[in-house]
Amino acid sequence: MTIIVTGAAGFIGSNIVKGLNARGERRIIAVDNLTCADKFRNLVDCEIDDYIDKREFVERLRRHDFGKVRAVFHEGASSNTMEEDGRYIMENNFTYSRTVLEACIKHRAQLLYASSSAIYGSSTSFIEERGSESPLNVYGYSKFLFDQVLRRTLPNAVSQIVGFRYFNVYGPRETHKGYMASIVLHHFNEFRAKRHVKLFGAYNDYAAGEQARDFVSVEDVVKVNLFFFDNPSKSGIFNLGTGRAQSFNNIAMTVVNTLRALDGKPALPLSKLVQEGMIQYIAFPDTLRGKYQCFTQADLTKLRAAGYKVPFLSVEEGVTRYVHWLNS
């Protein structure tokens, strides 16, 4: 049976294709928009059966052009959290996703889709329930609104529907994302070019660099997706993070010290890295005030209750592996 991955040439989508390939899956239809042509590089080492432009995909899925579809991994979306064109965001992240959902229901195909922790906004509670959800931008709102459609649909669903609220994902195959790439990639490039990295200074009662996020490796994201793919009776909305918030200082220290180790130099504590100018702080930008999540930490209660027991990589483990991959 056919497996479809939307956003297949993107960051998470291409990693899912690679993960499926590792299990012997080859009958994969890759759906994407290659207006940004460089994304093709993410699929060069992957095996796919066909490529479909996103503008053709939904209508062809409705017509049953692909035969029996086992599952759709719907990763295609605009991931720009700073996008101000609300019409564009809603069309790509809500309207398009809703048509994919309707087609999957019609054909009884599993749907595993990308939601987002941006739905929580400035909340201090990161639980998959309505009371914790308060998006700060139209990107978060688009994801929030589609999750509401899922909640209304689930009681009568005849096939699996799973939404994953991705927290801060980092890892291989994200270089095409530009300024929306992970802070890990930005730090890697910055330190290689300038021998220092820059972080935001103090803001909202957080000391310089101590704003904290739940940083999750794309390796773990793929594992969770495939766990639910293997368990089609499990549906719902699930947080996908490590369950542990780690500071931007932790990220910077890990990137810098890993690169120092590759150069044959010893690891240094934060205070020494700051003293020697390898970690620097800049004033918090006015453009982000009121729109910035200073703290995120996935509550994994529902995910663990669903049977996913695999431990997640910490920043120190995952970022170190990613830096070695980038360096190679």
Q: Is 302 a catalytic residue?
A: no
Q: Is 177 a catalytic residue?
A: yes
Reduce the secondary structure of the chain to three states and give it as a string.
CEEEEECCCCHHHHHHHHHHHHCCCCCEEEEECCCCHHHHHHHCCCCCCEEEEHHHHHHHHHCCCCCCEEEEEECCCCCCCCCCCHHHHHHHHHHHHHHHHHHHHHHCCEEEEEEEHHHHCCCCCCCCCHHHCCCCCHHHHHHHHHHHHHHHHHHHCCCCEEEEEECEEECCCCHHHHHHCCHHHHHHHHHHHHCCEEEECCECCECCCCCEECEEEHHHHHHHHHHHHCCCCCCEEEEECCCCCEEHHHHHHHHHHHHHHHCCCCCCCHHHHHHCCCEEEECCCHHHCCCCCCECCCCCHHHHHCCCCCCCCCHHHHHHHHHHHHHC
Long-range contacts of 301-307 (CB under 8 A, 24+ apart): 301/127, 302/128, 302/236, 302/237, 302/238, 302/239, 303/224, 303/238, 303/239, 303/240, 306/228, 306/231, 306/234, 306/236, 306/238, 307/227, 307/231, 307/234
Catalytic residue among 51, 54, 88, 177: 177
Backbone angles phi, psi at 182, to 5 degrees: -65, 155
Tokens at residue 256, please? 């810098």
Catalytic residue among 113, 139, 308, 322: 139
Rounded CA-CA distance 121/244 in Å is 17
Residues annotated as catalytic are 139, 177
